[in-house]
Amino acid sequence: MRGGKSMMHSGASLLRVQPLRCSDDLATAPKSLYRILWLAHPWDKSLRQLHVLPPGSSADLTFGHSQTGYLVSFPEEILLMTGCQHYYPFAGAQPSVRQHEKPIPVQDGLAIERMITNLARECAHHAGEMLIPGLLKVLIISIARLYPQPEAVVSECDELRLFQRFMKLVKDRKSGRRSVQEYANALSVKTEMLTECVRKVSGYPASHHIYEHIIHVAKHAAISSGASMKEVAYGLGFNDMAHFSKFFRSKTGMTFSNYKRAYQAI
């Protein structure tokens, strides 16, 4: 990271790497975090599993007595600080996704395993704080290469197509839209129809997806740029700074300035 900014906040590391021995170990990592699960069989190097769990997802795993592995967990801020927020399967997952599970070829498995063990060693000794961001970034990119970006789902389902069009508009940073009604107008549908469709397909109201994208863009701007709160708020279509400040704090638990001071890569 530029300037060697440590991944430290309030004296505690944002990144956690721990041995994984049983299903109960998963409970130690909150579901609000991204989690990478690495499982291996000590006697058969071909039996390796990689699981990527986005925030809010659940794992459905059965551990054998001889299995070993690691659990790597971190918040979204890590992706923003390392510039990896666009890498699939870490980015772009819908809340309904439970987990990404993939059998790993032997050579790829050995490489991933070395990266995770190196990362675990550096985290345990706190001697490699300058190395940790780079090691984690290489791990994330290496995992992303094993997961091809999924193509857009082609379906005759009108509701699914409408939801996909809605999400495409939400992720358009230049749209300047914030209300469900504005999105409904852009999609030429009634607000009630859009609201019902989005909730039915995703399990969340349309406002949830809108606000989650807005806060994601705001957090990214706070971390990766020198923009002031006023500039970020204006860029997101907020004319009332007090409203934006309250919105940002309600979503992150921190003021904009404190968040920027804590996480900005300098």
Domains identified in the chain and CATH numbers: 2-146 (2.60.120), 158-263 (1.10.10.60)
| DSSP-assigned letters across all residues of 37-50 | EEEE-SS-TT-EEE
Model pLDDT, residue 248: 93
On the CB side of 185, how many CA atoms lie within 13 Å of its CA? 7
CA distance 188 to 193: 10
pTM of the complete model: 0.67
Range from 24-28, 92-96, 127-131, 195-199 that averages highest in pLDDT: 195-199
Taking only the tens place, the pLDDT of each residue in 57-93 is: 776 666 555 667 888 999 888 888 888 888 888 875 4
Taking only the tens place, the pLDDT of each residue in 184-232 is: 988 888 999 999 999 988 889 999 999 999 999 999 888 888 789 999 9
Model pLDDT, residue 266: 44
**Among 13, 142, 10, 134, residue whose Cα is nearest residue 74:** 13
Under 8 Å CB-to-CB from 105, ≥6 apart: which residues? none
Alpha helix (H) residue ranges in 87-173: 106-125, 132-146, 158-170
Taking only the tens place, the pLDDT of each residue in 224-234 is: 887 899 999 98
pLDDT at 98 over 60: no
Element (H, E) at 22: none
Model pLDDT, residue 237: 83
pLDDT at 249 over 90: yes
